Amino acid sequence: MGLEIERKFLVDPSLWKRVRPAKGHKMIQGYIFKSVERTVRVRLRDHCGYLTIKGETKGATRAEFEYEIPATEAQEMLDTFCDRLIDKVRFEIEVDGKTWEVDEFFSPQKGLLLAEIELNHESEAFTRPEWVKEEVTGQPEYYNSNMI
To the query of whether residue 31 is one of the catalytic residues in this protein, the response is yes
Round to whole Å and give the CA distance between 119 and 15. 24
Q: Provide the CB-side half-sphere exposure for 122 (13 A, CA).
A: 9
By C-alpha distance, which of 60, 61, 63 is closest to 52? Answer: 63
> Amino acid identity of 135?
E
Kindly name the residue from 31, 67, 142, 143 that is annotated as catalytic. Answer: 31
Whole-Å CA distances, 90 to 50, 55, 56, 101, 116: 15, 22, 23, 6, 10
Q: Residue 144: name the closest of 16, 41, 11, 13 by CA.
A: 41
As a whole number of angstroms, the distance between CA 56 and CA 146 comes to: 13
Residues designated as active site: 31
